[in-house]
Amino acid sequence: STPGGSNNPTPTDADPFADCDNPTSTTCIRPFIGTVSSPVTLSDIAAFRPNPAVDNSQPNGWTVVGLDTNFYATGSQHIVDGTLLGKPASVRFTPVRWHWSYGDGTAASHPVPGGTWRALGVREFDSTPTSHVYGQRGRFTIDLDVDFAAEYRYAGGPWVPIAGTLTIPANRLTISVGDATTVLVEHDCRRNPAGPGC
């Protein structure tokens, strides 16, 4: 201690832990000392659930035999807060792979979620990285499963990756697949209500 001074020196920028020997100190900067076992596994974060992706199709609810139907998913990286092994923590989920089952006996996995025709800069029924062509008429059910990578952190610390991925189902789609017949007509239905298709 110094004459006339406190017996409890205050921490300095050079030594932020100088006052940590005093258990009543309000100025000590104490580092986080974790007691959580490592590594954290996917089963440890079972209480943290990622937001499911949303499956979409273009056209919406119907399509045409032999033409590309555009399937795409929405959903992005997000953080879920909670308690991990008894301590407040955050888990960050990142979608990394998309698995479509088209209901016609075929399936495909893609490293991208796809996008709308407009966002991709293509015309309607053009091929996209996640499109599918149906070869027959009918009504089909489409399922999408998305793989999420996960990371965790405590008290705003660095993100730590967790081995493996979680597979989370998205919503189910049902579409009708039909044939398209093109007919050339002189007038539209407003000018010729009795025309083909009117």
Tell me: the pLDDT tens digits for 129-162? 999 999 999 999 999 999 999 999 998 899 999 9
Determine the residue type at 51. N
Print the SS3 string covering the chain.
CCCCCCCCCCCCCCCCCCCCCCCCCCCCCCCCCCCCCCCCCHHHHCCCCCCCCEEEEECCCEEECCCEEEEEEECCCEEEEEEECCEEEEEEEEEEEEEEECCCCCEEEECCCCCCHHHHCCCCCCCCCCEEECCCCEEEEEEEEEEEEEEEEECCCCCEEEEEEEEEECCCEEEEEECCCCCCCCCCCCCCCCCCCC
Distance CA 85, CA 136 (A): 52
Q: Mind listing the pLDDT tens digit for each residue in 94-109?
A: 999 999 999 999 999 9
Q: Are strands 173-178 and 160-169 parallel, antiparallel or unpaired?
A: unpaired
Q: What is the pLDDT of residue 33?
A: 40
Q: Is the pLDDT of residue 118 over 80?
A: yes
User: Residue 133: exposed, middle, or buried by beta-carbon count in 10 A (0-12, 13-18, 19+)?
Assistant: middle
User: Residue 100: exposed, middle, or buried by beta-carbon count in 10 A (0-12, 13-18, 19+)?
Assistant: buried
Distance CA 104, CA 179 (A): 16
Q: Mind listing the pLDDT tens digit for each residue in 39-82?
A: 899 999 999 999 999 999 999 999 999 999 999 999 999 999 99
| Residue 86 bridge partners (DSSP) | none
Band of the pLDDT at 22, cuts 50, 70, 90? low
| pTM attached to this predicted model | 0.72
Q: What is the pLDDT of residue 137?
A: 96
